[in-house]
Structure 1
Amino acid sequence: MLKKYYARISKFSSAASLLYWDMQTYMPKMAGPFRAEALAELSGYVFQLATSDELGALLEDANPQDEVEEAIVRVGKREFERFRKIPKELFEEFVKASTLCEQAWQEAKRQDNFKTVEPFLQKVVELSREIAEKLGYEKDPYDALIDQFEPGMTAQKVATLFSELREFTIALLERIEKLEPVHDVLSGVEIEPERQRKFNEWLLDYLGFDRSRGRLDVSEHPFTNPIGLNDVRITTRYVLDDIKNSIFSTIHEFGHALYSLSIPQEFYGLPIGSSASYGFDESQSRFWENIVGRSLEFWKGVHGKFIELFPEFSQYDAHQLWKSVNVIKRSYIRTEADELTYNLHIILRFELEHALINGELKVQDIPSTWNEYFEKYVGLKVSSDRMGCLQDPHWYGGSFGYFPSYTLGNLYSAQIKHSLSKELPFEQLVEEGNFEPIKSWLYDKIYSKGKIYEPEVLIEKLSGEPLNVTYFRDYISEKAKRIFNS
């Protein structure tokens, strides 16, 4: 009965996911306000089902027979008790406010004007604080929000990891800037979107994306949306004079989709039927985007097809293209940042959203504070809201506590790669385009576990030690050495 009840919830959740995906891809602009109402009501009904006395009774009466069933009940109770703390009216108000705010953000970004979205965001921040209070916390209201994305994580743990990472990143960046810069042969060359699309479609086939269970579309900000069983949608975006943008967005979202599609189907709709955490989910998108997609071996493998579709780059060999996709430099846009400086973008966002939720930063002061921190951490002056605080949808969609997942994902991915390489000839497999052994290893260690284990437990099970900065530091230092000594 418990599994049947969760199956019912999953069907309504799937409908809400489809409405959201359509809103981000094909929905007419004027449909926005009604879509917000529809999403709020449908999400409210899902919330009602997920917090009902009936579900509570089913969880209490459950008699698990094995480890998987024990996990279903344990994770189910944890989520049930958390959701029950939030009044249904507050949840619906939050969904509606965040949906309207995200729609307003799209227009504000086009206009390059934070002021137009400010009142919407003010409402979302207030509701997020209220939700944090309802959820409860020991010391820090932000902990209540980050726990929704990364169970067991706290602001203090994040700050400790990020402090060590920030010092290392800035020191390595300053050393690199004293060397002769890498010539980026890819940026600035205009490639029409249709040719970019053809390469991305080929790339998905090359990586082994199951098109019978997913599709690629275009959106303002690339994302992955698991709509339902055997239905995962991914998006990318095309920038005329930056072919790398769509390539790495596509590979990134492929990583998310692969994780979602690889979780055992019998887990679908159950509390254990998703990734271990958002950080672990990001570990897979960053693993495929960076550790695989930005490796020299990968570019040796795709070089022939790349030159076939983009003959304007035919004079460059795989080694030159590899160096171009690994240019390390200070830049404005998070999703376009290199592997090293990327984490500075996340650390900035973490510190600002932490201050927002704690009431130490006012919404109206976000642009000026963003610009101040960006110059302090990344070393660049921000000239527009579009290049600064309007570039990401996360805050405007109410996802406070999400941003740390990206850098946690980088740390997880490097630690995962270190463990994987002990058992498989990683570089050889990537150069051959033989990704199945890698996927099988990831399935065995990560995907097959769903959400049975919390992230701290899962990373220790597969690597033998807690999450730490060491393996990312070693990985990126070694890559930088190869780039600048070759």
Structure 2
Amino acid sequence: MKEQTKSKLKELKEYIKKIEYLGNAAAIISWDSMVNMPRKAVEHRSEVQAYLSGEFYKLSTSNKVKEFIDYFENTMDELDEVSKATVRELKDNYNRTKKIPDNEYEQYTKECSISLSAWEEAKNNSDYDIFKPHLKKVIDFNKKFVQYWGYEGNKYNALLNNYEPGITTEKLDKLFGEMRDGIISVLDKIKKSGYVPKIDFFTKKFTKAEQEEFSKFVLKKMEYDYEEAGRIDEYMHPFTTNFGNKDVRITTFYYENDFRSALFSCIHEGGHAIYEQDIPDELEGTFLNGAPSMGLHESQSRFYENIIGRGKAFWKYFYPEAQKRFPQFDGVSFEEFYDAINYVEPSLIRTEADELTYGLHIIIRYEIERMLINDEVTVDELPKVWNQKYKEYLGVEPSKDAEGVLQDMHWSDGSFGYFPSYALGNLYGAQLLAKMEQDMPNMYNEIEKGNLHCVHEWLKENVHKYGAIYKPADLIKKVTGEELTAKYFIDYLDKKFGEIYYK
């Protein structure tokens, strides 16, 4: 590599760090808005966030960025793999951001901040009308952005690309169609079996302090560093956020009448957090210091939550520990507990859904988002459409907005195109599991001993350390040798639930 190119790369890295620093500042303000901010601060905080987004826009779309792009387009042959990926991300980010007028970008950030606060109030009061005008504004912005960006095929493809580069509605329809059919097949077998696990012992009183202590015990075994490089806080909708790999924070919510909720949300968010903490330091200042897609990010959280956290080997170690801490489980056998952890019942709340029917919750949201962006449904019609789809897919119907259209925060902050990531995460996770089982034949024996390090180390070496160097389709093929498929997930579900329900 020529000295001039080396010098230019160093300059580029320092410039990208400035963008990342500003992004981190905006992210920590957003975190504080959800976790700590007093209610009267909403309007002023939204103005602060709008200002920072404006500065972020200027740095991301400056003439200096265009100069970097022009220079490196003529020197790509000199660059190593990481540098090529950096330039790719720089160019993609520049082109997408530049197409949005700066005043609209700033206004959109402000509206999303106000919208999030309106959603919180609406959910607490189970009143969709409080949120509806704000949701309409956020949707209208997204529709305009789709036109600015341009798209091939379905308009919704432009939004999908923000979270899962390379995915389209056409590809999703195929993957989700196979996944849906597989889920329904397993669900039918479960219904025919007639077996219903006993779960009443999960709904006894479990104090917040007890749940918090046990969740931390599990997270420490998972190797999420919440003591020196993270935090655990409370928020009505669990999430993970990070400001570099040395500050990765999660939230959860405790229900004293349900042992499972906070624990599994902690395991889920812990999976996200471990991914971020494992991103190598050397990827700072490259735009590659994160996952290549939200689907791959969700693969890690849902892998830990379900494949590991609801697995038999996991509870061989953790159930005796739970019995020591919770007398509520006295007289409950391991088999009863394990079957109850994997209890299947179509339900209303996505974040509380069982592992099997969870994918149907995502398909509902995917279909509704696509309809909204393509003007096939209005915000006025949204609660009715939501309820109809729940009746059709899951056989249940919300009785109030809080357990229906208001249950998720994603639309309030403009995250249209995100929901499919959760289901894609299930597919990625099961495909990674198949490869992990090949590479580590004794994996389950180690997990039974409480050794989750082997799982963490495999994911770190095969997935986490690459950050966003590779596109998601390229990374899954690099790790498993195959393109993403629904086959492994369907087989995994049939084997797991077959052993419990229809042996």
Contact 2:314 2:448 in 1 (8 A): yes
What amino acid is aligned across from residue 343 of structure 1 in structure 2? G
- Describe how 1:454-469 pairs up with structure 2 within 5 A: 454-469=471-486
Cα-to-partner distance string for 1:234-278 (whole Å, 9 max, x where unaligned): 011101211100000000000000111111111124211110100
Q: 1:65 aligns with which of 59, 75, 79?
A: 79
Q: Does 1:398 align with 2:424?
A: no
Deviation at 1:174?
Answer: 2.0
Contact 1:125 1:398 in 2 (8 A): yes
Deviation at 1:460?
Answer: 1.0
Q: 1:32 aligns with which of 39, 42, 67?
A: 42
SS of residue matched to 2:381 = helix
Q: Distance in 1 between matches of 2:400 and 2:142?
A: 27
SS of residue matched to 2:202 = coil
State the Cα RMSD in Å. 1.3
Deviation at 1:88?
Answer: 1.3
In structure 1, the residue matched to 2:5 is none
Q: Distance in 2 between matches of 1:318 and 1:485?
A: 19
What amino acid is aligned across from residue 458 of structure 1 in structure 2? L
Q: Distance in 1 between matches of 2:387 and 2:168?
A: 26
Q: Distance in 2 between matches of 1:186 and 1:162?
A: 34
Which stretch has the larger CA shift, 291-300 or 317-326?
A: 317-326
Q: Distance in 2 between matches of 1:307 and 1:44?
A: 53
Contact 1:186 1:244 in 2 (8 A): no
Contact 1:128 1:398 in 2 (8 A): yes
Q: Does 1:234 align with 2:250?
A: yes
Q: Distance in 2 between matches of 1:206 and 1:215?
A: 16
Contact 1:185 1:324 in 2 (8 A): no
What amino acid is aligned across from residue 325 of structure 1 in structure 2? I
Q: Distance in 2 between matches of 1:414 and 1:371?
A: 30
Q: Does 1:475 align with 2:489?
A: no
Q: Distance in 1 between matches of 2:208 and 2:457?
A: 34
Q: Distance in 2 between matches of 1:10 and 1:202?
A: 33
Q: Distance in 1 between matches of 2:352 and 2:37?
A: 26
Deviation at 1:411?
Answer: 0.4
Q: Distance in 1 between matches of 2:372 and 2:201?
A: 38
Unaligned runs of at least 5 residues, structure 2 = 1-10
Q: Distance in 2 between matches of 1:59 and 1:448?
A: 26
Cα-to-partner distance string for 1:11-67 (whole Å, 9 max, x where unaligned): 111111111111111111111111111111112211211111111212332355311
Deviation at 1:84?
Answer: 1.2
Q: Does 1:94 align with 2:108?
A: yes
What amino acid is aligned across from residue 27 of structure 1 in structure 2? M
Flag as ranges the 4+ runs of structure 1 deviating above 4 A. none
Contact 1:280 1:455 in 2 (8 A): yes
Which stretch has the larger CA shift, 267-276 or 375-384?
A: 267-276
Q: Distance in 1 between matches of 2:423 and 2:43?
A: 34
TM-score by length of 2: 0.94
Q: Distance in 2 between matches of 1:389 and 1:323?
A: 30
Q: 2:211 aligns with which of 175, 196, 200?
A: 196
Contact 1:183 1:324 in 2 (8 A): yes
Q: Distance in 1 between matches of 2:467 and 2:244?
A: 15
In structure 2, the residue matched to 1:297 is 313
Contact 1:13 1:46 in 2 (8 A): yes
Contact 1:185 1:321 in 2 (8 A): no
What amino acid is aligned across from residue 444 of structure 1 in structure 2? E
In structure 2, the residue matched to 1:423 is 439
Aligned residue pair count: 486
Deviation at 1:448?
Answer: 1.1
In structure 2, the residue matched to 1:107 is 121
Contact 1:299 1:319 in 2 (8 A): no
- Describe how 1:163-178 pairs up with structure 2 within 5 A: 163-178=177-192
Q: 1:182 aligns with which of 169, 177, 197?
A: 197
In structure 1, the residue matched to 2:302 is 286
Unaligned runs of at least 5 residues, structure 1 = none
In structure 2, the residue matched to 1:263 is 279
In structure 2, the residue matched to 1:16 is 26
Q: Distance in 2 between matches of 1:187 and 1:302?
A: 15
Contact 2:86 2:287 in 1 (8 A): yes
Contact 2:221 2:452 in 1 (8 A): no
Q: 1:409 aligns with which of 421, 425, 447?
A: 425
Deviation at 1:68?
Answer: 1.1
In structure 1, the residue matched to 2:139 is 125
Q: 1:378 aligns with which of 380, 386, 394?
A: 394
In structure 1, the residue matched to 2:15 is 5
What amino acid is aligned across from residue 196 of structure 1 in structure 2? Q
SS of residue matched to 1:216 = strand
Which stretch has the larger CA shift, 462-471 or 72-81?
A: 72-81
Q: Distance in 2 between matches of 1:318 and 1:58?
A: 60
In structure 2, the residue matched to 1:355 is 371
Deviation at 1:161?
Answer: 1.1
Deviation at 1:154?
Answer: 0.8
Q: Distance in 1 between matches of 2:245 and 2:224?
A: 16
SS of residue matched to 1:452 = coil
Q: Distance in 1 between matches of 2:94 and 2:113?
A: 24
Contact 1:327 1:338 in 2 (8 A): yes
Which stretch has the larger CA shift, 361-370 or 302-311?
A: 302-311
SS of residue matched to 1:422 = helix
Contact 2:197 2:336 in 1 (8 A): no
Contact 2:186 2:497 in 1 (8 A): no
In structure 2, the residue matched to 1:435 is 452
Contact 1:186 1:324 in 2 (8 A): no
SS of residue matched to 1:396 = helix
Q: Distance in 2 between matches of 1:449 and 1:174?
A: 40
Deviation at 1:305?
Answer: 2.1
- Describe how 1:239-250 pairs up with structure 2 within 5 A: 239-250=255-266
Q: Among the aligned pairs, what percent are the same residue?
A: 38
Deviation at 1:485?
Answer: 5.3
Q: Distance in 1 between matches of 2:241 and 2:201?
A: 30
What amino acid is aligned across from residue 7 of structure 1 in structure 2? K
Contact 2:126 2:402 in 1 (8 A): yes
What amino acid is aligned across from residue 92 of structure 2 in structure 1? R
Q: Distance in 2 between matches of 1:164 and 1:399?
A: 25
Q: Distance in 2 between matches of 1:429 and 1:320?
A: 23
